[in-house]
Amino acid sequence: MNRTQIHNLSAYFRTQNMSKLYVVPTPIGNLQDMTFRAVEVLRQVSVIYSEDTRRTGILLKHFEIQTRMQSYHMHNEHQIVEQIAQHILAGQVSALVTDAGTPAISDPGFLLVRECVKQGVEVETLPGATAFVPALVNSGLPNDRFVFEGFLPQKKGRQKQLKALENEARTMIFYESPHRLVKALEQMSEVFGNERRACVSRELTKVFEENKRGTLAELITYFSEKEVKGEIVVVVAGLG
């Protein structure tokens, strides 16, 4: 985006009296993945609803964005979605961000988007960073058809959810935390078999990015012998 385009976008914000929610993706690791448009939108809106204002504050400081923030996270979203939608309807042009990636993809955001749609608020989602797309492409597994499962339940229901995917032919994508990775791989192996191909991606876009490919058995052995850090995406081949 050149200077003229940025100026035109700024002028557009100033002249429009509209009720609107912008859903703005933020980098999953590398700040250079922030788009010019995302920066300008965050500069021009009235308020930024943020999952963690401390983490978002680091991003805003880096890009010299001074827009005020308000907390919007999984612990308060049920209580305040209607209030936020009403504020936007009253003319408050707002943006929604999460800690990293695209809001509502396994992060807070869905409830607010749904409420805004329900109340007639215009919602515009910017394209941008999300972890599962580069992980899927990096895996080398078929990506013409896939199913995104997000996080498995932390306790009850993990095996049930995996069992329901036993005959899934499409490539499957899961998010997982570092300390549950090996357990998740073991549970997948029990359902899909030791020889099912998979890829574990971690620290995507960061200095120590790793994409480890192999069978589930090979991945269990590999990650059992090392300390795992960072956000995890597990891509598993479908049946057949």
Listed in order, strand segments (DSSP E) in 77-154 are 94-97, 122-125, 146-151
Q: What is the mean pLDDT of residues 130-157?
A: 95
Under 8 Å CB-to-CB from 211, ≥6 apart: which residues? 135, 138, 139, 199, 200, 201
Query: Which of the four pLDDT bands, split at 50, 70 and 90, describes residue 155?
Result: confident
Q: Can you say whether residue 190 is alpha, beta or left, with left for phi > 0 and alpha for psi between -120 and 50 degrees? A: alpha
Listed in order, strand segments (DSSP E) in the chain are 20-23, 47-50, 69-71, 94-97, 122-125, 146-151, 171-176, 197-202, 210-215, 232-236
Q: Taking a C-beta distance cutoff of 8 angstroms, is the pair 129, 54 a contact?
A: no
**Measured distance CA(226)–CA(60) in Å, rounded:** 35
**Measured distance CA(85)–CA(114) in Å, rounded:** 10
Q: Which domains does the chain have, with CATH numbers?
A: 3-125 (3.40.1010.10), 132-236 (3.30.950.10)
Question: How confident is the model over 9-31, as pLDDT tens digits?
Answer: 555 554 454 689 999 999 999 99
DSSP state of 25: -
Question: How confident is the model over 35-45, as pLDDT tens digits?
Answer: 999 999 999 99
What pLDDT is recorded for position 19? 85
Helix, strand, coil fractions of the chain, as percent rounded to 5: 40, 20, 40
Q: pTM value? A: 0.88
